[in-house]
């Protein structure tokens, strides 16, 4: 029996929960959207560490035996602190630079992420590792999180916001775009419409789901709970969370 805590600055982490439930359908999940403090992307690392601690304490008090940090920004800022301070496993996000670098034909990949993720040492190390033979272009998905939290996943305004960050990557020749923020997969249909057909988008969520399953298995945790399902919690208004949950 396992209860899995999962959190994000908002509803973006639902794109990770979607992939986790595909391979762990019988678990009990407690999803926490910290939308009263969203976005995390421009906040300091210390602020995000403090929020991640408070949320982890709450998830543990609700019986979580593992926590998924379904937020690239919080993973980059806080996961090493969380791992050092708590006894349970934490599984985090990793921008999918490696598969993008391996798969690109044009030799240019694009990374879309928050400012916090792009300046974090964790990302800079990854970049250093794979940036030798290929070109890595980066853009902050400005306004993307606000679109998703506002349930504006399409339409002329959403399109112009998405174009402003996506087009510079396409113009630079990127044929593979890494979705480095868990909110962004909700804008994928729009991005696919904007991008030429040869461009592919990589979401690390399926790999994160497999990693969680491996961690639970290695820890001897049963992969089913007598009371499977999802509990949705939010620090602010939960309208978006409940609505987006119906889309996953």
Residues 121-160 binding ligand DGL (CB under 6 A) are 145
Residues 97-126 binding ligand DGL (CB under 6 A) are 114, 117
Residue 36 DSSP one-character state: G
Residue 63 vs 150, nearer CB to ligand DGL: 150
Closest among 19, 28, 5, 94 to 248, alpha carbons compared: 19
Closest among 186, 192, 148 to 166, alpha carbons compared: 192
Residues 63-92 binding ligand DGL (CB under 6 A) are 71-73
Q: How far is the CB of 203 from ligand DGL (least distance, A)?
A: 11
Size of the site for ligand DGL (CB under 6 A): 17
Whether 112 and 139 have beta carbons less than 8 Å apart is answered as yes
Residue 9 vs 104, nearer CB to ligand DGL: 9
Q: Which value, in Å, is the radius of gyration of the alpha carbons in the chain?
A: 17
Which residues of 92-175 form beta strands (DSSP E)? 108-113, 135-140
Which of 181, 191, 195, 208 is catalytic? The answer is 181
Q: Cα 228 from chain centroid?
A: 23
Q: How far is the CB of 245 from ligand DGL (least distance, A)?
A: 15
Q: How far apart are CA 42 and CA 115, in angstroms?
A: 6
Which helix or strand (DSSP H or E) is residue 215 part of? helix 205-218
The residue from 5, 12, 92, 110 that contacts ligand DGL (CB under 6 A) is: 12
3-class DSSP state for residue 78? helix
Told to judge if 181 belongs to the known catalytic residues of this protein, a careful annotator would answer yes
Residue 170 vs 187, nearer CB to ligand DGL: 187
Q: How far is the CB of 35 from ligand DGL (least distance, A)?
A: 9
Rule CB under 6 A: say whether 165 interacts with ligand DGL.
no
Q: How far apart are CA 178 and CA 108, in angstroms?
A: 11
Q: How far apart are CA 181 and CA 143, in angstroms?
A: 12
Which of 71, 118, 161, 234 is catalytic? The answer is 71
Residues 188-247 binding ligand DGL (CB under 6 A) are none
Rule CB under 6 A: say whether 40 interacts with ligand DGL.
yes
The residues binding ligand DGL (CB under 6 A) are 8-10, 12, 38-41, 71-73, 114, 117, 145, 181-183
Q: Supply the residues annotated as catalytic.
A: 71, 181
């Amino acid at each position: 029996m396992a209860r899995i805590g999962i959190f994000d600055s908002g509803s973006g982490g639902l794109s990770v929960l979607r992939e986790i439930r595909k391979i762990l359908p019988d678990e009990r999940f407690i999803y926490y959207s910290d939308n009263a403090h969203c976005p995390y992307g421009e906040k300091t690392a210390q602020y995000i560490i403090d929020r991640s601690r408070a949320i982890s304490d709450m998830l543990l008090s609700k019986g979580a035996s593992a926590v998924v940090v379904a937020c690239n920004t919080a993973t980059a800022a806080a996961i090493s602190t969380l791992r050092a301070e708590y006894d349970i496993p934490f599984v985090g996000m990793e921008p999918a630079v490696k598969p993008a670098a391996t798969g690109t034909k044009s030799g240019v990949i694009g990374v879309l992420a928050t400012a916090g993720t792009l300046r974090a040492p964790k990302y800079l190390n990854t970049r250093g590792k794979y940036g030798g033979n290929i070109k890595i272009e980066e853009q902050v998905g400005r306004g993307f999180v606000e679109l998703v939290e506002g349930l504006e996943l399409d339409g002329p305004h959403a399109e112009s916001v998405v174009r402003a960050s996506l087009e510079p990557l396409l113009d630079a020749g990127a044929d593979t775009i890494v979705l480095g923020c868990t909110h962004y997969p909700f804008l994928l249909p729009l991005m696919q419409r904007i991008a030429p057909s040869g461009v592919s988008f990589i979401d690390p969520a399926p790999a994160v789901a497999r990693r969680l399953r491996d961690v639970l298995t290695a820890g001897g945790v049963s992969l089913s709970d007598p009371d499977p399902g999802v509990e949705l919690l939010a620090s602010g208004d939960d309208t978006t969370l409940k609505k987006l949950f119906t889309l996953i």
